[in-house]
Amino acid sequence: MERTLVIVKPDGVQRGLVGEIIGRIERRGLRLIGMKFMQVSPELAARHYAIHKGKPFYDGLISYITSSPVVVMAWEGPKAVEAVRQLMGATNPTAAAPGTIRADFAVEIGRNLTHGSDSPDNGLAEVALWFQSNELASWQRDGECWVFEKN
């Protein structure tokens, strides 16, 4: 079982795409274990995007993610990280495959709607960064055995 952190970024919230984005992940069959609507502080943004510090787009990225509220979620499932990355599409929306969230709804890399963890280790670390353990539910969805072969 993997965990992945998903953020509907400020553009996704402002454009009314929260339900659309959550719906795609939900229908894929992954298990939602945490969700909150929040304004991201500059401190949290800096910790989340620490790996990009010093890059030319870093300042723009921090001001974008802190510009307006986001929806942040933790999802669980076998291959959850890869499944969400596939649903989101490539970082640059015009390079993303048709049918992905970024290709369907975005055009610019700096307004690409979503974040998804990029490895199982980062999935665990990012969920721990954004959620307290008492904000995460341990549960199973009815009928999950029809999506997850092993539980």
CA 90, CA 46: separation in Å to the nearest integer? 22
List 39, 91, 94, 140, residue binding ligand DAT (CB under 6 A)? 91
31 lines the binding site for ligand DAT (CB under 6 A): no
Residues 6+ apart with CB under 8 A from 53: 46
Q: Is residue 112 a contact point for ligand DAT (CB under 6 A)?
A: yes
Angle, helices 80-88 vs 18-28, to 10°: value is: 140
Residue in 5, 10, 15 with CA at minimum distance from that of residue 104: 15
Question: Binding pattern to ligand DAT, positions 32-71, x when CB under 6 A?
Answer: --------------------x----x---x----------
The window from 17-25, 75-83, 104-112, 129-137 that contacts ligand DAT (CB under 6 A) reads 104-112
Tell which phi-psi region holds residue 36, choosing left (phi > 0), alpha (psi between -120 and 50) or beta. Answer: beta
Verify whether residue 52 is a known catalytic residue.
no
Catalytic residues: 115
Residues that bind Mg ion (CB under 5 A): 118
